[in-house]
């Protein structure tokens, strides 16, 4: 992943890491395995792991699948990700 791309709020890698942390947090809050989330979202389990590690840039379709599987709107999933960014910035 190209870490050099600067975006408002951090690099592409920072955003992918935060999104992955968000997905992991929400999955674990439901006491779900990666495999169960993958099944609910019609994704491959290893791909869910890559998302959680921030190793891939998920598409908008994948974002929507994950949000739906987690029982939330796509915008709510992104908002939760932004809350994690804001919390991390305050802690730094």
pTM greater than 0.85: no
pLDDT at 15: 84
Is 86 domain-assigned? Answer: yes
Residue 54's CATH number: 1.10.260.40
CB 16 within 8 A of CB 2: no
- DSSP designation for 30: T
Using one digit for the tens of pLDDT, what is the confidence trace for 16-50?
899 999 999 999 999 999 999 999 999 999 999 99
Whether residue 2 is contained in a domain is answered as no
Residue 1 counted as domain residue: no
Each residue's pLDDT tens digit, 64-83: 999 999 999 999 999 998 88
Which helix (DSSP H) or strand (DSSP E) does residue 55 occupy?
none
Report if residue 5 sits inside a domain: no
């Amino acid at each position: 992943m190209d870490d050099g791309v600067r975006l408002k709020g951090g690099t592409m890698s920072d955003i992918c890491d935060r999104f992955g942390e968000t997905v992991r947090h929400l999955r674990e809050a439901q006491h779900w395995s990666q495999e169960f989330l993958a099944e609910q979202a019609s994704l491959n389990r290893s791909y869910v792991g890559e998302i959680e590690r921030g190793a891939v840039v998920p598409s908008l379709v994948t974002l929507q699948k994950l949000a739906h599987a987690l029982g939330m709107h796509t915008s709510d999933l992104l908002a939760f990700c932004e809350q994690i960014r804001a919390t991390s910035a305050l802690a730094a």
